[in-house]
Chains A and B, each alone.
Chain A
């Protein structure tokens, strides 16, 4: 519940400048500006590859292994809008109290981002252990 609240708060505030010198890039509106997934988000191969990429991008420091509890929002056992997740990975998030999430737009191609989205969506059905 707490993570959902965080996401809601973030979603409301993200459009406003949070720092005077480095401004958030602004969230794209879901569905309107973000490309659609090029494959079904429940595709097992996409989930597996997205999981590998997720792990390689410093899960330990941020979202925790397999999205378990961490300083950044917990992902495991939570339900997120896939377009929101895509935009968050692409644009990152500057601000909040916890710390910034890097924007991965220069490091990941849209297909790679969608695979990570598929993986994160798959975590929603996994027990929050």
Chain B
């Protein structure tokens, strides 16, 4: 830090040389495969920053040596703290865009935090009746517009410069389905792709593509396959599914990879939904232009536990001449595919606390030795309904070739109860039972942040947390891993060793996604802070003090002194 001060402009310029000397493409990837439509290292233009789902910023001005000199550049508060701040912000050409609870959208000067515009949609009061509210995980940007799916089932295209509504479309009948949008869209070429909530509702969840220019629907994909072999009786009508988080995209194959949510009801009392329940708890490869299904792999056939494949990132990764896709679901197992055809390459567990299966065959994906909850009798199941990991995302650093990811070692007691699906006058929650969190056998529940090889699962380092972390992870070209915990501390770790290099208390826990960006040659790290989340409601059964952990909602932005 002293060097920066004393050498002034010369050092700044040399730093910039270093900054831009970092290869923007991942080493080992196929030549010509663009990770971004506009791969400017200064920007964070989409939910996972790049189509490959890495959440990696190549910026290196802030690094292992100087991270101790980080200080707060500015803070922005959205003024809506219910369910905290779950979003990942975007930055394009010096402007930060982010969305907070109740779909409050902001455009800020990314260097100063000064507000350029805000947009507070007038939401339908039906939102008050919904289970999935009032949070939102992120925006998308493209064709001069800012896109988001709303709590009341609309999709908005806002003018990127002014925040004025360019178009809005009512895509979901939220008053009827009790479903909505909470995940960030993905812009692919001329389309905006996003999926709906449905996994706990007696409806059929879909993934949609709208034209970015007009909002007209281009295609939709029903995650409930109309197949009586897959859905016995009339269970398909109430099958749930959907795709509530953000997928990845391979431009070379023109395939969008999207995870689908669990079937409804979450728990099957025996005969609730006979069959494997396609395409729930699966990974889909969809043609980006037509929405046509190219391949699928169902990770949890007839999901009995709400292990939901809808969460988080799909890593688009090339290794040893193979085009791979790395994806996980809430079971805590990671699935590795050939992304050209969906053939399974490996399966490995990121948690050591599981009993829902004895194992998963890494060649076929077969769930070996299933242990399912039963009607009317409490059953001890690991992992819990929040998963081996929640919907927060890990980060893959193409320089270290490590995937930095969180995991939870927590169990539960599940009791299944018969439930009649309710669709009138509006869809009611369709769980088919309830659960309470439990400590694992012989020890306390906990969570951890791991550095692993994403293909083999080999672990290089790990850091334990008393309260399982539920925030996303950032890794950078400066050799850093940035991650915020439930207690309200944001940490910087050495990406190679896991050494803790810097900490800052933001005052409320972390559920959103930290990012890094650069404006006028100065690197920043933005950390959304604000504890909230449905998952957090499960914690007090194990840690009663979490009931009193303060809520919050603030965007903290750090830079070097």
Closest residue of chain B to A105 (Cβ to Cβ) is: B129
Interface-lining segment among A34-42, A67-75, A118-126 = A67-75
- CB pair A60 B131 closer than 8 Å: no
Is residue B313 within 8 Å, beta carbon to beta carbon, of the partner chain? Answer: no
Do the beta carbons of A106 and B534 come within 8 Å of each other?
no
**Stretch touching chain A among B216-224, B359-367, B484-492, B543-551:** B543-551
Residue contact B434 to A59, C-beta cutoff 8 Å: yes
Name the distance in Å between B363's Cβ and chain A's nearest Cβ: 35
Contact A71-B547, Cβ < 8 Å, known A24-B128, A106-B425: yes
Cβ of A64 under 8 Å from chain B = yes
B190 → A minimal CB distance (Å): 30
Does B32 sit within 8 A of A, measured CB to CB? no
B541 contacts A64, C-beta separation under 8 Å: yes
Q: Are B123 and A22 in contact (CB under 8 A)?
A: yes
Residues of B within 8 A of A (CB): 80-83, 102-104, 120-123, 125-131, 133-134, 151, 175, 178, 200, 385, 412, 415, 417, 419, 422, 425-429, 431-437, 532, 534-541, 544, 546-547, 550-551
Q: Find the B residue at minimum CB distance from A98.
A: B551
User: Complex formed: what's the CA distance from A103 to B419 in Å?
Assistant: 20
A91-108 interface with B by 8 A CB criterion: 91-92, 94-100, 102-108
Partner of B547, one of A62, A69, A96: A69
**Once the chains bind, are A71 and B417 in contact (CB under 8 Å)?**
no
Q: Give the top 10 A-B pairs by smallest Cβ distance, nearest first.
A: A71-B537, A97-B551, A107-B428, A65-B436, A106-B426, A61-B537, A55-B434, A60-B435, A103-B129, A69-B540
- The residues of A with any CB-CB pair to B shorter than 8 Å are 19-25, 52, 55-62, 64-65, 68-72, 91-92, 94-100, 102-108
With CB as the reference atom, state the residue of chain A lying closest to B422. Answer: A107
A-B contacts, 17 listed (Cβ < 8 Å): A19-B80, A19-B134, A20-B120, A22-B123, A56-B433, A58-B200, A61-B537, A70-B541, A70-B547, A71-B537, A71-B539, A91-B128, A92-B129, A94-B82, A97-B81, A100-B133, A102-B128
* Given the contacts A23-B125, A56-B419, A56-B429, A69 and B551 also touching, CB distance less than 8 Å: no
Among B120, B131, B540, the residue within 8 A (CB) of A64 is: B540
Which residue of the partner chain, among B123, B175, B417, B537, contacts A99 with CB atoms under 8 Å? B537
CA distance A102 to B134 in the complex (A): 10
Name the one of A21, A25, A58, A97 contacting B123, with C-beta atoms under 8 angstroms: A21
Shortest beta-carbon distance, B156 to chain A, in Å?
13
A100 and B434 form a contact (CB under 8 A): no
Q: Which residue of A lies closest to B428 (CB)?
A: A107
Asked whether, in the complex, the Cβ of A56 is within 8 Å of the Cβ of B537, the reply is no
Interchain CA distance A103-B47 in the complex, whole Å: 31
- Rounded to whole angstroms, the CA-CA distance of A99 and B82 in the bound complex is 5
Within 8 Å CB of B131, what residues of A?
Answer: 58, 102
**Given A22-B134, A106-B129, does the pair A56, B540 have CB atoms closer than 8 Å?**
no
**Candidate in B81, B82, B534 with the most chain A CB atoms within 10 angstroms:** B82
Contact B547 A65 (CB under 8 A): no
Q: Quick one: given A55-B415, A97-B550, A97-B551, are A61 and B534 in contact (CB under 8 Å)?
A: yes
Nearest CB in chain A: distance from B270 CB, A:
16
How far, in whole Å, are A100 and B537 apart by their CA atoms in the complex?
Answer: 12
Question: In whole Å, how far is B377's beta carbon from the nearest beta carbon of chain A?
Answer: 14
- Knowing A60-B434, A97-B550, the reply to whether A25 touches B419 (Cβ < 8 A) is no
Contact B434 A58 (CB under 8 A): yes
Report B-chain residues with C-beta under 8 Å of the C-beta of A100: 82-83, 128, 133-134
Residue of A nearest to B152 (CB): A22
Cα(A92)–Cα(B130), bound, Å: 10
Chain B residues lying within 8 Å of A97, measured Cβ to Cβ, are 81-82, 550-551
Residue of A nearest to B418 (CB): A52
Residues of B within 8 A of A104 (CB): 129
A58–B122 CB distance below 8 A: no
Extra inter-chain contacts (13) besides given A19-B80, A98-B551, A100-B133, CB under 8 Å: A20-B120, A21-B102, A56-B419, A58-B431, A60-B437, A68-B436, A70-B540, A72-B537, A92-B129, A94-B128, A94-B134, A97-B81, A102-B128
Name the A residues within 8 Å of B546 (CB-CB).
Answer: 71
When C-beta atoms are compared, the residue in chain A nearest to B535 turns out to be: A61
B112 to chain A, nearest CB (A): 25
Contact with B541, one of A68, A96, A98 (Cβ below 8 angstroms): A68
Complex contacts, B385 vs chain A, CB 8 Å: 60
A25's nearest neighbour on chain B, judged by CB, is: B128
Could you tell me the distance between the alpha carbons of A60 and B267 in the complex, rounded to whole angstroms? 13
Residue of A nearest to B508 (CB): A97
- Please judge, given known A-B contacts A22-B128, A102-B129, A106-B425, whether A61 and B81 are in contact too, CB under 8 Å: no
